[in-house]
Structures are given as C-alpha cells and as structure tokens.
C-alpha cells in the first residue's frame, strides 16, 4: 500500500522551483525566462487542441505553472502573497466568491 503524498502549497512549490533553478534563472533573466514560458504555453495550447492523452496534458499544465513560478522568483514576487491580495477577498471585479461579473468582462 502506497502512502499518498501531501499536497504541495504554492509557497512550497515556489521555494522548490527557487531551490532547483534560481541560479540558472537569474542568468537567463526575466526576458529569456518569459520566452520559455511562451514556448510552454504553446505546447499546452497544442495539447488542448489536439486532445493529447491526459498524462501529456498534465505535464504541459505543470510546465506552464513551473515557468510562471520561475519568472516570479526572478522578479522577486511572492506568488502566494500576490494571489491572496488579489483573490483572497473574492473576485477582483465583483468581490464575490462566486463571480457574478458579466461573461463579456474580464474580472
């Protein structure tokens, strides 16, 4: 019987990515890292469009999230704090926890 792994918090994930890649990421800088993020977004779009298998789709989502986290590290942004500030009190548009903004608007 395998023991389930605990969920990783956003704070833990950002630290994990920092510990693994920060030196390389700083050398590459925000601009270079952003280009890698865009490549991964393209791969995710392709996987979504073509109906790749579930494993591939999960890998592409994870890659996009990891590269976004990498940019936050290089830029000195605490993602957990930023998300709490922006979304912790509900939708930024209507302030509700179940968004009631018109679908034509970006909340």
Give pLDDT tens digits for 54-92. 999 999 999 999 999 999 999 999 999 999 999 999 999
Percent of the chain past pLDDT 90, that is, above it, reads 85
Share the mean pLDDT of the chain. 93
DSSP assignment of 43-100 equals HHHHHHHHT--HHHHHHHHHHHHHHHHHHHHHHT--HHHHHHHHHTTS-TTT--SS--
Give the pLDDT confidence of 18-33 residue by residue, as tens digits: 999 999 999 999 999 9
Reported as a pLDDT band with limits 50, 70 and 90, residue 1 is low
**Burial class (CB within 10 angstroms; exposed 0-12, middle 13-18, buried 19+) of 51:** exposed
Percent of the chain past pLDDT 70, that is, above it, reads 94
On whether the CB atoms of residues 43 and 67 are closer than 8 A, the answer is no
Reported as a pLDDT band with limits 50, 70 and 90, residue 2 is low
Fold exhibited by the domain 10-76: Helix Hairpins (1.10.287)
Q: Measuring CA to CA, how many Å separate 46 from each of 27, 40, 56, 58?
A: 29, 10, 11, 13
Boundaries of every domain in the chain? 10-76
């Amino acid at each position: 019987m395998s023991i389930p792994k605990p969920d990783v918090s956003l704070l833990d994930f950002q630290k994990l990515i920092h510990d693994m890649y920060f030196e390389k990421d700083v050398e590459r800088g925000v601009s270079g890292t952003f280009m890698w993020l865009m490549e991964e977004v393209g791969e995710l779009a392709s996987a979504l469009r073509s109906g790749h298998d579930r494993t591939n789709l999960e890998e592409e989502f994870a890659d996009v999230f990891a590269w976004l986290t990498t940019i936050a590290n290089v830029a000195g942004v605490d993602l957990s704090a930023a998300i709490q500030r922006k979304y912790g009190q509900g939708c930024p548009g209507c302030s509700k926890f179940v968004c009631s903004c018109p679908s034509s608007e970006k909340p």
